[in-house]
Structure 1
Amino acid sequence: MENYFEMKRTSESGTVFLFGDGMHLIHQNIPGLCWGDPKNPPMLKTNTGRQRLNILGAYNPDSHSFVHLTGEENCDAQRVIEYFDVIIKAYQRAPGIVLILDNASYFKAKIVTEWLEKHPKLKLEFLPPYAPNLNLIERFWRFVKEHLVKNKYHKKYKSFRAKVFQFLNHINEHANELKTLMVEKFEIVKIKA
């Protein structure tokens, strides 16, 4: 991550740095830990879990803001291009945008690289493989799941979907929580040989 801090230090003033990734939020109650009497175990309401929202998001650690493209559509190369359009529109005044991503194949698809050649304002930086601890948005996704699906039951998919959009579109209401969670401190795991 030394490269990240060096890029921020040497980039043109006003350049925006974002951490991006996709998440698939399933219409399902995800139980947290709890104690239960083995003779009378707690009963949890549940859904089929067959419906989900696919979220492509980008988190800005400097402004604690979040941009997303959310819907039932699958995350593929064409959807990624739509996501990039949303980002460019959100940061149209910035001289440049650096989006830090994992190595998902849809971010590296041919039509995506061709699109990026025509839109030089947006630069992609890829994290090392298998390094979710370096992608700040992974903390954000955990935060989202804690608020939307952990120990939460939504009987109808329609109300679940509305709750997700309401939460994501008003993330600024959680700014104080995010300021302490979404700090640019990264855990580097050293593996002994």
Structure 2
Amino acid sequence: MDILTEKQVLELKIAHKQTREKRVADRIKAILMVHMGFTYEQIKQTLLLDDVTVRRYWKQYQSRSMAGLLEYRYSGGSSHLTGLQETELKVFFREHTPQTAKAVVDHITKTYNISYSVLGATKLLHRLGFVYKKPKVIPGKLDRFKQEEFLKTYKETKAQLGVRDHIYFLDATHPQHNTRLSYGWILKGKENDKFIKTNSGRARLNLHGALRLDDRATIVLDEETIDTISTLRLLRAIDHQQRLGNVYLILDNASYYHAGLVKQWVLFHPRFKLLFLPTYSPNLNIIERLWRFFHQKITHNRYFETFGEFKTTSLDFFKNLNLYEKELTTLLTDNFQLYPT
């Protein structure tokens, strides 16, 4: 017994002859081939479609007849939305971030009764200026006014630097001996999944560093712990590196920077000037960018069998920053980004 009636077959053949859309023609051919007794596997190989797609076409035809089969979901040529509708979408999605292109498809269908494919919605988002990325995390208690005041002081300090004066950014970081996974471009398909070993190591490095702004000269000390004593060692290292001129140190409000011994040391070394950042202001500390760059190059998607190997590789990175000079030249600048309030 035939699956389709003669009338349905004739209707499909006429539609196939009249359509100029290859994808619509393939849908019609798929339905006719099912009617003629071809298996889904044979249809897939003949029309170069996947099995799921062929079955979906058949289901569409069964449920909505010709209208369902010929329903064409926009996939990215010229927009089916008006200019005003696109503007409305842009405003809406700026305030309500869609997590998937499917969410965009659903919103367009619900709001404008216009059908898009996921691919079409993705192309539309790109055309409207959207890119797929994570939001940036910012401190919940930051003070925009205090950040602006600090930048004013910073610019005044920089403007009055003498020939032998330098600005340093200080901070500590604690990279852990464990695998840190990060995004990367990987061929799709489970057979192309990347697997990286991990370990349960809790050992970590304690690095105390200073970055000189104008030439990106860096001092990074490997310490047992970050405290007042490590701070004094770092100050002495800076003093040894820069024998002449004033030394302006930009640092956060960690307790060890406010310790009595540190204040006493600075008192006896008057060319050292401490400029404290506002609280919750990692965006104003340039050495934070160097720490992130270190993780990108050394710890992301890499496995270290032993802590010793991890430690050696990490410290060697900071000893050979000249290898990354081109990247660091544009990264380590005082082009600060202020967080919104």
TM-score norm. by structure 2 comes to 0.52
Q: Give the Å deviation of 1:98.
A: 0.6
Is 2:209 aligned against 1:61?
no
Q: Is the 8 A contact 2:245 2:271 kept in 1?
A: yes
Q: Is the 8 A contact 1:64 1:175 kept in 2?
A: no
Q: Give the Å deviation of 1:190.
A: 3.3
Partner of 1:88: 239
Is 2:204 aligned against 1:47?
no
Q: Which has the higher strand share?
A: 1
Distance 1:115 1:84 in 2: 9
Distance 2:294 2:163 in 1: 31
Partner of 1:119: 269
Structure 2 unaligned segments of length 5 or more: list them.
1-150
Partner of 2:320: 170
Q: Is the 8 A contact 2:166 2:213 kept in 1?
A: no
Q: Is the 8 A contact 2:248 2:275 kept in 1?
A: yes
Q: Is the 8 A contact 2:249 2:273 kept in 1?
A: yes
Amino acid at match of 2:239: I
Q: Deviations over 1:135-182 (max 9, x none)?
A: 111111100111111111111111111111211111122111100111
Distance 2:334 2:205 in 1: 28
Q: Give the Å deviation of 1:116.
A: 1.3
Partner of 1:25: 175
Q: Is the 8 A contact 1:67 1:90 kept in 2?
A: no
Higher relative contact order (CA 8 A, sep 6+): 1
Structure 1 unaligned segments of length 5 or more: list them.
none
SS in 2 for 1:53: coil
Distance 1:5 1:12 in 2: 14
Partner of 2:225: 74
CA RMSD of aligned residues (A): 1.8
Number of matched residues?
Answer: 189
Distance 2:323 2:242 in 1: 20
Bigger drift between 9-18 and 23-32 goes to 9-18
**Percent sequence identity over aligned pairs:** 33
Q: Give the Å deviation of 1:79.
A: 1.2
Q: Which has the higher helix share?
A: 2
